[in-house]
Structure 1
Amino acid sequence: MLVSVHDDPPILVCADLQVEYLTPGRRHVILDGEVATSRCLELLTLWRSNLWPVMHLKRIAQAAWFNPSSRLTDWIAEAKPRPGEMIFEHPLPSAYSSSRFTDYMTNIRNVRCVLTGFSLDETILATVVEGFHRSHRYQVIGDAVACRQAGMSEAAAYKASVVNVIANFATIQSSAELIRNGGAVAV
């Protein structure tokens, strides 16, 4: 069953679309980042052109490898939040580690979120699992998410494994299917 987005549009959640993940030579670089980025930007364009709600998550970890004052934590230029779009910074993998995010999600009537972005094996996984336990519904766009290789020789297999785990807690959909349905999400 699909829900009309014009009556009650889902929130597009862009997770950790930061320069760090696309900079060659960096520890957390995403090898297929261009593909996921282009899908994220397509969906961001659809949401913005329809004036549907957009939320941006930004990881601001305090670990030694993550320097929040570095330019590497800046938004990818094309995905930079615009005025009126929500921004939540979170110190731990789950976006729910931001008290502002938790308050917002707790106080909206019908929580339906379309999740895209980077840090699939950290931010997206942790947020979806925690949201599931709070009865918040997430839809993850499988071709608009990416994660670093995590020391494995086969990045695609690692990503597929993480997506399979996430499928226990959220619906998985392709960007083409979401765009074809005009942003309607399965419930």
Structure 2
Amino acid sequence: MSSRDLFGVTEADPPVLVCADLQCEYLAEGRKHLIADGDVIMARCRQLIALWRDNLWPVIHLKRIAQAAWFNPASNLTNWLDDFKPRPGELAFEHPLPSAYSSARFAEYMSNMRSMRCVLLGFSLDETVLSTVVDGFHRSHRYQVIADAVACRQACVGDVASYKLVVTKVISNFAGVLDSAELIGASGRLAV
């Protein structure tokens, strides 16, 4: 007998995959928010989104549309990267501030979902991922961040790896943090 909560969700139900800010802006050379290890992170994100799509599990896309000089929403740099464009049946939410909860539609959607688990990957670890996880924590929403499928921009001081480690450590106070190998067991099935 599987463990089922009062709302009918079982631990065996796959978590919702939340793809944060997989936009052209973060890979454009010379831009302030350039992701240094974008190719490595994108490969892992491709693997995970393919797993979710192949199994017809739920996928949510987040898109940052900040109104600032460095993030022009009219530019094609705010477009999703080709491999990560939402497909029919996948939800997409635009958020003006770092937290996805700054989108009224996203906040309402999440508040109406019961006992949902979310696996979070993508760019903007030090902005969107961090602030969404903290906001979600305060709303009793459960998130898991995939450490080898998230990236952040070059820090002002120090190297990217050290900066990412510090941000990930902060996130671990509000959400689970695991690698994709821990998420996907040896059998190729979800281990969470």
User: TM-score w.r.t. structure 1 length?
Assistant: 0.94
CA distance in 2, matches of 1:49, 1:6: 20
Alignment of 1:26-175 (within 5 A): 26-175=31-180
Moved more, 7-16 or 126-135: 7-16
Report the aligned-residue RMSD: 1.8
Percent of aligned positions that are identical: 66
Alpha-carbon distance, 1:184 to partner: 3.5
CA contact (8 A) 2:16 2:118 kept: yes
Write the letter of the residue equivalent to 1:92. L
Write the letter of the residue equivalent to 2:62. L
Q: 1:15 matched to which residue of 2?
A: 20
CA contact (8 A) 2:182 2:191 kept: no
Higher relative contact order (CA 8 A, sep 6+): 1
CA distance in 2, matches of 1:6, 1:131: 19
CA contact (8 A) 1:5 1:183 kept: no
Q: 2:189 aligns with which of 176, 182, 185?
A: 182
CA distance in 1, matches of 2:78, 2:39: 17
User: TM-score w.r.t. structure 2 length?
Assistant: 0.91
Larger radius of gyration: 2
SS at match of 2:184: helix
Alpha-carbon distance, 1:7 to partner: 4.5
Paired positions, count: 184
CA distance in 2, matches of 1:184, 1:55: 20
Alpha-carbon distance, 1:152 to partner: 2.1
Structure 1 runs (4+) greater than 6 angstroms displaced: 2-6
